[in-house]
A = this chain, B = another copy of it.
Amino acid sequence: MNDHPGLTLATFAAQLDFGSIPPAVVERTVNLYVDWLGSALAGKGARPVETIARFARQAAGAAANNGPCEVLIDRSRTTPYFAAMVNGAASHFAEQDDVHNGSVFHPATVVFPVALALAQATRASGRDLIVAAVAGYEVGIRIGEFMGRSHYKVFHTTGTVGTIAAAATAGRLLGLSPVQMLDAFGSAGTQASGLWEFLRDAADSKQLHTAMAAANGLMAAQLAADGFKGATHILDGAQGMAAGMSSDADPARLVDRLGSRWATVETSFKYHAACRHTHPAADALLAVVQAHRLAPRDIAKVVAHVHQGAIDVLGPVVMPRTVHQAKFNMGTVLGLVAHHGYAGVTEFEQGFDADAVVAFRDNVTMAFDAEVDAAYPARWIGKVTVTTTDGRVFNGRVDEPKGDPGNTLSRDEIATKLHRLAAFSGAATEGEAARLLGNAWQIAGQAQVGLVFDNAHAQADSTVSA
């Protein structure tokens, strides 16, 4: 087979080994894994997530809960396919899972559900899980960049491109050859789907997108391992993904510095529990509020200076009716930040529609900013103009929102975030979360990836606390 960018990328994913990944990349990947666990736990009890979980139990049939793979929201056990589906649904719900700026792609929520499920099913080592996850991140980020900004205008990149990231992760754990990996890309890419239209109605599709990206990607890799052929040019062919769903695709991005540029570590942690497009302005507002000691009632209006992508995604959400929709409303996020200094899951749940937040929201507008737009998506600059009730005008700016690679979260901050998310959803007690964390930080050294929730310990704990 002649070499081409898709094959080069598939070969990289198939042949990636632990020794070739720099230690700093491994360490960051562990952090991303632990951060993902928190997001997966946060999905417990969320209606769309629980609905997908019920569907999965029904579709698998009576003996579903006998598989080797853990469903994190309820600690049930099932097959890799359904574990990937439900954990994929769960980990995108709180809007706290990670994001890669340049590709506007959320890798963790499609990569780790597959990595964990297949590692548990195949008794893989922690190193194998890390290598497979890095393969998924590197592949997904580059394909996201390849598909370009035109794709993201209509398509939810995490749903579309995420399917191939999931396939790369699954394919690496299954030990696919380069040609089989390309087959997996083909079967994944031809299933790539996910439209932004749902956001206008506060519909539940976002959970469906990540659930099925994970499940379909895993399916694509399992089929490839069994000889199922995929299109070799699914990415750049005349009737492939870019031809159908992009007008500015750049094939050079697919193989950009493979093996020397580690896109995985460019991934940002999400500090606020809202759409990432709101974070730069939120941090810029926080800087103004703190520097000038402004109370919310001191602020007459805020203009958030944003890139076009933020207007495309957030623009349709004018009057949020649900918590989830509120996470896509700039005014609500800035209102929560002005009032609480933070827009976390608890702040949203308890206050997105509080009178004071709604009043603040109505004083927030977005304005297209040429500098911010030109820097995007490589850099997500935050700029706000705040006008106070007594007529003062302050300009705030951040060049790297909290959680970005140059302003990353510490392990303590990640642990705190997981504790908050687990407590919020009730997916784990504080003791369980602490034990789970102790185990998860050691993942790269484990000879065999076990259960996230160690039942023996959990039972011992409940005995103690009884």
Contact = CB atoms under 8 A, between A and B. Distances in A.
Interface of A: 47-48, 51-52, 54-55, 58-64, 66-67, 78-82, 153-155, 159, 183, 186-187, 189-205, 208-209, 212, 216, 219, 222-223, 226-234, 237-241, 243-245, 316
Contact of A223 (B55, B67, B155): B55
A195 B164 CA distance: 14
B63 A61 contact: yes
* Residue from A63, A198, A230 whose CB has the most chain B CB atoms within 10 Å: A198
A230 B203 contact: yes
Contacts of A66: 61-63
Contacts of A202: 229
Contacts of A47: 227
A212 B191 contact: yes
Contacts of A222: 55, 58
Contacts of A216: 212
B81 A198 contact: no
Nearest to A65: B61
Contacts of A48: 228-229
B231 A201 contact: yes
A59 B237 CA distance: 31
Nearest to A205: B190
A153 B183 CA distance: 22
Contacts of A233: 197, 200-201
Contact of A240 (B55, B195, B226, B241): B195
A232 B201 contact: yes
**For the complex formed by this chain, how many copies does it contain in all?**
2
Nearest to A245: B244
A114 to B, nearest CB: 13
B64 A195 contact: no
A453 B191 CA distance: 32
Contacts of A239: 153-154, 195-197, 199-200
A51 B204 contact: no
Contact of A197 (B81, B223, B240): B240
B193 A231 contact: no
Contact of A63 (B62, B186, B205, B229): B62
A200 B190 CA distance: 13
A230 B233 CA distance: 32
Of residues A48, A202, A229, A245, which shows the largest number of chain B Cβ atoms within 10 Å of its Cβ?
A229
Contacts of A60: 59-61, 64, 79
A244 B61 contact: no
Given A63-B63, A205-B231, 7 more contacts: A51-B228, A58-B81, A61-B64, A154-B243, A186-B201, A187-B204, A195-B231
A59 B212 CA distance: 14
A197 B234 contact: yes
Contact of A59 (B82, B193, B200): B82
Q: Which 5 A-B pairs have the closest CB atoms?
A: A63-B63, A59-B81, A196-B239, A154-B244, A197-B231
Given A60-B79, A190-B195, A195-B190, A208 B223 contact: yes
B54 A195 contact: no
A116 B122 CA distance: 35
Contact of A245 (B61, B199, B200, B245): B245
B192 A204 contact: no
Contacts of A193: 190-193
Contact of A51 (B58, B78, B227, B232): B227
A194 B155 CA distance: 15
A225 to B, nearest CB: 10
